[in-house]
Chain A
Amino acid sequence: MASDDVWILGISMTRFGKHPDSDLIDLAAEATMNSIADAGITMREIGILAAGNLRGGGGIGQALQKQVGQTGIPVYNVANACATGATAIRVVHMALRAGEADFGLAIGVEKLAGGERVGDSATWSPQGRFGAIGPLDGRIGTETMPGVFAQIGMEYGHRYGGTSFELFARISEKNHAHSTLNPLAS
């Protein structure tokens, strides 16, 4: 019987950190098993899985199922930048609301540590939509999200006026204050 209400029965989170000895699936499995235990059910009851990950190369949902329970349920791998985890929740929520399943699992997992800019090729050869002969990051502006958003915030202030850097600092202060309340923060 499909109801309009969708309930969160269990939830879990891994500790923030670089986790050199854990791969993506270790982190996803830890969060999965702990949230399912929190809900008081097993993977057997789960009828749909949505797995959010941006930089792991895809197929995280299937790889997770192989570790924690390969029950033949539909899996949706989603990638949506900062909104990736929220998109996974939305996919499960909509599936439950549509009556496709009674229990669903939404997981979001990412490892960011250890990346580096790829090196230049031995001979210059234009590649891609900008006809670039090497990586742009650091040469034609920045591609990192903190840098991009810093510029968006500054452009907003420049265009509309009245948006003070004091305001941005207060948002940062508020967010860091919240992190001190999270025992899983690094």
Chain B
Amino acid sequence: MPQPVPFVDYLVLGERPHLVARECTACGARFFDRRNACASCFGTSFTQVDVPTEGEVRAFTIVAHAAPGVPVPFVSATVDCAGTSVRANLINVAPTPEAVRLGMKVRLALTAVGVDQAGTEAISFGFEPRR
């Protein structure tokens, strides 16, 4: 059985699943994509940092219409993890205005994407309500 793979390279699986960001060594701005330079200060030196797994919902939208192939409804959100903005789906919560609110405390959670032809499972992440 092959090891599961993360859906994106900034998701670290294992005992303590978490996200990692590329942090600008000059100004501290954090990014999740491969960088050519810092968008804030133009610096070119980055270090890898762990992102806290708990945060609060800073913005969300319940997506009811999407391109064919995208399951709807789902909740898209920006989560503030102690100052780091993370784009993610909210999961394990009803996709309704009653169940999701601004400022809601959430934590990182894993979700299965599927298994490819080689039998490798892919794991993605979302954020779920903290109870």
A interface, CB within 8 angstroms of B? 115-124, 126, 129-134, 136-142, 144, 146-147, 150-152, 154-155, 158-159
Please report the number of residue pairs spanning A and B whose Cβ atoms sit closer than 8 angstroms.
112
User: A154 and B59: CB pair below 8 A?
Assistant: yes
**Looking across the interface, which residue of chain B has its beta carbon closest to that of A137?**
B70
User: A139 and B89: CB pair below 8 A?
Assistant: yes
Instruction: Judge if B49 is at the interface, Cβ distance under 8 Å.
Output: no
Residues of A within 8 A of B89 (CB): 138-141
Tell which of B67, B88, B117 touches A140, judged by Cβ atoms closer than 8 Å. Answer: B88
Interface size on B, residues (CB 8 A): 39
Residues of B within 8 A of A116 (CB): 67-69
Instruction: Judge if B98 is at the interface, Cβ distance under 8 Å.
Output: no
Tell which of A118, A144, A158 touches B66, judged by Cβ atoms closer than 8 Å. Answer: A144
What is the distance, in angstroms, from B81's C-beta to the closest C-beta of chain A? 14
**Looking across the interface, which residue of chain B has its beta carbon closest to that of A126?**
B9
What is the distance, in angstroms, from B118's C-beta to the closest C-beta of chain A? 5
Instruction: Judge if B114 is at the interface, Cβ distance under 8 Å.
Output: yes
User: B116 and A122: CB pair below 8 A?
Assistant: yes
Residues of B within 8 A of A151 (CB): 59-61, 76-78
User: B70 and A138: CB pair below 8 A?
Assistant: yes
